[in-house]
Homo-oligomer: A and B are copies of this chain.
Amino acid sequence: MATTKLIAPAARSSRVTQNARPATQRQQDYLLGVVYDLISEHGIDALTMRQVAEASNVSTGTINYHFQNKENLVISALEAAYQLPRDWESCSGSPAAQLRRIALSYVLRASSDRWWRFWINYLAASTRHEEMQAHQETRFDKQLAFWSNLVVEGVAKGELRKSLDPTDTARELLILVHGLLSVQFIKPDAKTRSFARERINKAVDALLREGVHKTGGPLERRF
């Protein structure tokens, strides 16, 4: 447990001492990884500084030395987590394929459960934590913009139907995947996950221009 390595040192900065040398940065990133794991596992409220200290094999003083206090630690972990490379980020290919892939990342799998468990805890906690709430909102808007852009590109490349309104389409997809996410949390079984995958594929297929091959081969169905 608690050994996940996070993003590259250069990628994180705010909230912690500026100009931190690489060693410090690495240590902080390591600690944030531990926190991410613990939150995914036990929820935000159950997180204790002692837990973090023990799981990361440092003293409680060290945690506070780097992050001042628990709130800052949690927020930092959240920020770091949100900057974790999603698997779809490295996803190349056509806009339509990218869109499908991103949308399919909302399907729970063993390897991504951690992230989504983290996410749902964050969402619940954000109902009583303004800063976290704002964070969620920002992230959603970015997501919306990114998806919209993919739609625009897909239309331009002739993959997607010309009649699509990019923002509406993106929003509709986002609502769908979040709805499916909820359902997957409510019914966390293989069948539900399978259904979610099919449903998402169907939704993306519906955006494709006539004549473009639907749901494609094994590459696209990997999820």
Residues of A at under 8 Å CB distance from B?
Answer: 41-46, 117, 120-121, 123-128, 133, 136-137, 140, 174-183, 185-188, 199
Are A180 and B186 neighbours in the complex by a CB distance under 8 Å?
A: no
Secondary structure of the A contact surface, majority rule: helix
Copies of the chain in the assembly: 4
Are B179 and A180 neighbours in the complex by a CB distance under 8 Å?
A: yes
Are A43 and B45 neighbours in the complex by a CB distance under 8 Å?
A: yes
Are B127 and A117 neighbours in the complex by a CB distance under 8 Å?
A: yes
> In the bound complex, how far is the Cα of B159 from the Cα of A106, in angstroms?
35
> In the bound complex, how far is the Cα of B177 from the Cα of A190, in angstroms?
22
Question: What is the distance, in angstroms, from A108's C-beta to the closest C-beta of chain B?
Answer: 11
Are A175 and B199 neighbours in the complex by a CB distance under 8 Å?
A: yes
> In the bound complex, how far is the Cα of B182 from the Cα of A175, in angstroms?
8
> In the bound complex, how far is the Cα of B43 from the Cα of A126, in angstroms?
10
Question: What is the distance, in angstroms, from A154's C-beta to the closest C-beta of chain B?
Answer: 22
| Residue from B45, B123, B186 in contact with A182 in the complex, judged by beta carbons closer than 8 Å | B123
Across-interface contacts of A188 in B (CB, < 8 A): 127, 133
Across-interface contacts of A43 in B (CB, < 8 A): 45, 124-125, 127-128
